[in-house]
Amino acid sequence: FERDLWGIVNNAGMCHPGNVEWTRPDAYKRVMALNFHAPVGIIHDLLPHIKKSRGRIVNVTSVCGIVSSPSNSTYCSSKFALEALSDSLRVEMMPFGVGVVVLEPTTMKTPLGMGWSDMWKKNYDEADPLRKSHHPAEWADKFHDKVSSDLVAAGENPFITVKEIANALVLPVQKARVLCGVGAKGYRILGMMPDKWRDAILKDPIGGIGKGDESPLC
């Protein structure tokens, strides 16, 4: 670099929705490759330049790095991993004046966010019939329609996150974590709840799976 590098923003992401039971292990490898291993490689290669400039590293995770939700284990696993990396890195970089900031967006009106339920249905349709035998097609159609409606209602303006990325790069005083969007505050509360309460909230919104309607999705 002819000039010092000031900032790194890790924001690329993908998901592979589906229940753990019918999600193949290679899906986890693909999601982790982009959502976690790619940021690890970028940070590793560019960190000497960031240390020289006493700059910033901004890792965009998700509310899925706060609470792991059913049918989204590949994505949540990768976001929890990036949060853990950020926590370690933030403390390691304190002596060098390098800031490490985690942004946690809620559901945004992006192709990834609004297309989640369609991706889920595609993965369900392609899953091994034996693996999904306790989740009939009628249930899957209802689940898809319910989640699609919920995502449209909950989705927020992605420029909320864009603004926070800019703030994380330029503001002199930084927080370790920044919630992006009104919905993110709910996830923070959800993450502090006892496991039993949180599980009851996150259970199958359609019901009818397993022993009555109290059976969770995963």
| 9, 98, 174, 207 from 57: Cα distances, Å | 6, 8, 11, 42
Give the torsion through C-alpha atoms of 173, 165, 98, 83, to 10 deg. Answer: 110
Is 28 assigned a catalytic role? no
Identify whether the C-beta of residue 161 lies closer than 8 Å to the C-beta of residue 107: no
How far apart are the C-alpha atoms of 49 and 53, rounded to whole Å? 6
Tokens linked to 98: 């390098």
How far apart are the C-alpha atoms of 185 and 78, rounded to whole Å? 21
Q: What is the DSSP letter of 179?
A: E
List the catalytic residue out of 28, 75, 124, 187: 75
How far apart are the C-alpha atoms of 162 and 173, rounded to whole Å? 18
The residues that are catalytic are 75
